[in-house]
Structure 1
Amino acid sequence: MKYMIVLLLALFSTLSIAQETAPFTPDQEKQIENLIHAALFNDPASPRIGAKHPKLTLVNFTDYNCPYCKQLDPMLEKIVQKYPDVAVIIKPLPFKGESSVLAARIALTTLARSSATVPRAT
């Protein structure tokens, strides 16, 4: 019973501290949004296919060892071919373990080394 009381007191004290903490200022929120936007859409290390100046940009988070991700890749290629104003940015998200991390590293290293010969965007 004492354990439960201590646990509840700790929970409520944490909640009151969270309420007292000031949220981000509007300027800070805008800076955070700009950082996220730059990381998603302007990262030169992220593979990209499709239009160079697209009207619509899709960001695809993928794991090279994920079977569902592999099924999506041909669909994204078809979208880019069918709609010339669309671009796809690929963001490796290795969630299936160490082999996924290795696959992502190999893919990004290969792209970086052959960027002069690999078409990036049309």
Structure 2
Amino acid sequence: MFKQLAALPFALALAFGLAAPAAAVELDNLSAAERAAFRAEVRAYLLENPQVLMEAIAVLEQQQAEAEVTRDAQSVAANADALFASAFDVVLGNPEGDITIVEFMDYRCGFCRRAHPEVMDLINFDGNIRLIVKEFPILGEQSMLASRFAIATRIAHGDAAYFAVHDALMTMRGDVAIPALEALAASLGIDAAAIVAAMDDPLVQTTIDTNYALGQRLEITGTPSFVFGDQMVRGYVPLDGMQQIVAMLREGDN
């Protein structure tokens, strides 16, 4: 807002009859009487034309949004290997899909839970999307425990078992604790003892730390956060919104 309002002194200075070069200088160069008159004129102008403030705010918000999109695209490009080609991540959907989506998620995040079935629907309905899951536990000890268990599942039993546990953790009720996680694995027919043993594998913490570092570089502070192609999307997006983003990405490639 302040950047946009900076144009008002220039316009009002012209209305005062000041020369253009004089209008461009700092207001401190005006005399006390000129400064007081100038401020009174600015106030009167804004009171008579309050829509100017809303127009300025709208312009500024648009500029900020465009700058953020540009910044995010540059950040995605700079971190492309870590985002799209990390050995630490599981790829769901179509491994050869024409659109890649990266999701930073936390099993205890309400909006991640809300987004999960819609992300799965997007993958299943579309059939040509590659989804990369980034374990990003930021909501406390239970979040960390759930992520460690999921990653250990992959180490002990492979990608298919990881996805089964990942899906179950997204709908799990109650507190996350080892007995509850063991029961969850057992309900899926997966050897829980092997998973618990694998939780001590250094690769578990390395995976999480790698995702934390990547999230910091991308300025990700909440979950869910997505990367659609070269676009960052922070927060929950409903299915139709995700479909629109995918369609726009495909249209841009044509």
Settle same-fold status: TM greater than 0.5: yes
1:69 is matched with which residue?
112
**TM-score normalised according to structure 2 size:** 0.32
Aligned pairs, how many? Answer: 88
The equivalences for 1:1-122 within 5 A come to 33=78, 36-115=79-158, 117-118=160-161
Q: CA shift at 1:112, angstroms?
A: 2.3
Q: CA shift at 1:117, angstroms?
A: 4.7
**How far apart, in 2, do the equivalents of 1:119 and 1:107 lie?**
6
Greater than 6 Å deviation, 4+ residue runs: none
Q: CA shift at 1:118, angstroms?
A: 4.3
Q: Which amino acid aligns with 1:42?
A: A
Q: Which runs of 5+ in 1 are unaligned?
A: 1-28
Q: Which amino acid aligns with 1:64?
A: Y
Larger Rg: 2
Say whether the 8 Å CA contact 1:45–1:112 is kept in structure 2. no
RMSD: 2.2
Q: CA shift at 1:43, angstroms?
A: 1.4
Q: CA shift at 1:70, angstroms?
A: 0.9
**How far apart, in 2, do the equivalents of 1:73 and 1:116 lie?**
18
**How far apart, in 2, do the equivalents of 1:113 and 1:95 lie?**
24
Q: Which runs of 5+ in 2 are unaligned?
A: 1-73, 164-254
**TM-score normalised according to structure 1 size:** 0.64
Q: Rate the CA distance shift 1:118–1:101 in 2: closer, same or farther, 3 A.
A: closer
Q: Is the partner of 2:100 in helix, strand or coil?
A: strand
- The structure richer in helix per residue is 2
Say whether the 8 Å CA contact 2:153–2:162 is kept in structure 1. no
- Could you tell me the percent identity over the aligned residues? 26
Q: Which has the higher contact order (CA 8 A, sep 6+)?
A: 1
